[in-house]
Amino acid sequence: MTDLAPLRPLLAVLASAVAIPLIYATRGRPNRREAVTVAAAVTKFLIVASMVPGVLAGERYEVQLGTFATGIELVLRVDPLGLLFGLLASLLWIVTSFYSIGYMRGLDEHAQTRYFASFAASLAAAIGVAFAGNLLTLFVFYELLTVATYPLVTHDETPEARSAGRKYLAYTFGGGVAVLAGTVLVFWMTGTTGFTPGGIAALATADPMLARAAFGLLVAGFGVKAALMPMHSWLPDAMVAPTPVSGLLHAVAVVKSGVFGLARVVLDVFGPGTVEQIGGGVPLAAVAAITLLTASVIALRQDNLKRRLAYSTVSQLSYIVLGLGLLSGDALVGGLLHIPAHAFMKLTLFFCAGIIHVETHTDDISNMAGIGKRMPLTMAAFALAAAGMAGIPLVAGFVSKWYLLIGAIQAEQVIFAGALLVSGVLNIAYFWPIVYQAYFESPEDHDDKPLIEGPYGGRGIVRADGDGRARENVDGDEDVDEDIDLEEAEAAAAADPDVDVDEMLGESQGAHEGHYSGPPAGGWEKRNWRGGESTWFMLGPILAAATGAFLLGVVPHAAVFLQIVQRIVRDLPGVGL
């Protein structure tokens, strides 16, 4: 009998790739199609999880896929850093698969078969990114991930969705070109593109100018998907996608592939010692600090919940990059641990935004006063995840940010420690009003929260179901919200007696295909805490993701993710914990 154990990296990639034709084959039978999706997700996770004990014990799993004429091999190789990303992506795909079933059925979405097939393709590419054994293999799967996620970004097929998709391709393919150029330069200087803990030794003695150029190209290329400013704007625009896709983009695959690529460059291509030698660490940390503060301020401007979460993601990803730039042991632990910590918390938050839309068709934060009465479990999970994002103890975000703070002090970079503290305050500023008004205010007596108004903020134009339809103002230079409320309709009627108020309101609501924003007449209906607010296909994944965020915060040393992260850092020569 053939021993399949050494082939596990390849089998992990194929588990979801093989599911793609099966999903299309069962497109006329939704139950079977979704059973295939869940079965593939569980199979992938079990394959990846089976490698955890061996990798922690020092074993490496490798599969050769072929060799180019230049001698560069396509190879899949599982090491602790790859396992960190692969285990996270495969685990959360299970959760997202169940959520997608409830979400897509709840909104009776079109093209569901294409959606699930594209999702499977995206996870196959993401696992390929995780288990890539060298820069060339990483580049191949990195680009395949862009192609696989494009149909998800443009799922709604509206002009806004297609525009966001074009922007997504332009940014990410542009980043891919930079990655390829950096890869070629590394190979030209060293004769290899392989990953080695502590970096490729030949780079330490290479021409410093060429080494800096290669480092800059690779950081810029991976920095696009990591949403480092000023390469971030594709990410908020991609919120036209359905909410489960937003979860995929922000928590599981796409943006995490960007920060994962940066981790490979810093830890396994150049190594912390060479990065410090060429002066790359502090500038990388500075870009991350600017991004995390600026994005937090912009998040304060957003009234649309998904756009606020999008800018929160831009900010939170830079915590990971900051840890990589600081180069100290604890900072590296904090940055790498924030990969799973952020994933659990942000997936919870996006799932909450999606279920609120499915059940209440509400997308703007200003219309959510008292919604905790209608969605008690959802808002409890939202509050827990938001607390973690702000670094409150007992949630995953506190542990990773604590390591980052200690690492910044350890590296004698107090200014970056200050940036972390200020960002924590800003996190509270843009999350707390949502939680407070959900539980402690009602639609009748709530006050407007201190939303920063301006051309970059105010009410967003993206709904949680991905519908980004909007209209231009009279000058044609700014997008405005398409909803017309009662006050606006009455003002128009006062100016023009021929205007019919009811007709105006009806046209505005009809533009959203029956999706109304805010509480119904008479206020929110009270639902119980036993799941009466929605289907368990959506509530279950929300509670599962929130539980993961809680456990990673309460028992971090018992969580396998922290063990993997500590193993990654211990394997780096010259870096101590």
Q: What is the pLDDT along the chain (577 residues), one digit of tens a residue?
A: 456 778 899 999 999 999 999 999 998 898 999 999 999 999 999 999 999 999 999 999 999 988 876 778 899 999 999 999 999 999 999 999 999 999 898 888 888 899 999 999 999 999 999 999 999 999 999 999 999 999 999 988 888 889 989 999 999 999 999 999 999 999 999 988 999 999 999 999 899 999 999 999 999 999 999 999 998 889 988 888 888 888 877 777 888 999 999 999 999 999 999 999 999 999 999 999 999 999 999 999 899 999 999 999 999 999 999 999 999 999 999 999 999 999 999 999 999 999 999 999 888 998 999 999 999 999 999 999 999 999 999 999 999 999 999 999 998 999 999 999 999 999 999 999 999 999 988 877 766 655 554 444 434 444 444 444 433 333 333 343 444 444 554 455 555 555 444 444 444 433 333 344 678 877 788 888 887 888 899 999 999 999 999 999 999 887 899 999 999 999 998 887 7
d(C-alpha 496, C-alpha 425), whole Å: 47
Cα atoms found within 13 Å of the Cα of residue 39, Cβ hemisphere only: 11
pLDDT reported for residue 512 = 38
d(C-alpha 135, C-alpha 268), whole Å: 10
d(C-alpha 132, C-alpha 191), whole Å: 18
pLDDT reported for residue 460 = 41
CB atoms within 10 A of CB 425: 11
Please report, for residues 349, 367, 376, 442, the alpha-carbon distance to residue 527 in angstroms, rounded to integers and kept in the order given: 20, 18, 7, 15
CA angle (358 as vertex; 20, 117 as ends), nearest 5:
5
Given a contact cutoff of 8 angstroms between Cβ atoms, the answer to whether 343 and 545 are in contact is no
pLDDT reported for residue 156 = 85
Partners of 376 in the β-ladder: none
Partners of 64 in the β-ladder: 75
Q: Which residue has the tokens 């891919």?
A: 176
Q: Which of 454, 114, 135, 514 is nearest to 300 (CA)?
A: 454
d(C-alpha 68, C-alpha 276), whole Å: 32
Q: Which residue has the tokens 């997008």?
A: 479
> What 3-state DSSP class applies to 18?
coil
| Phi, psi of 390, deg, nearest 5 | -85, -5
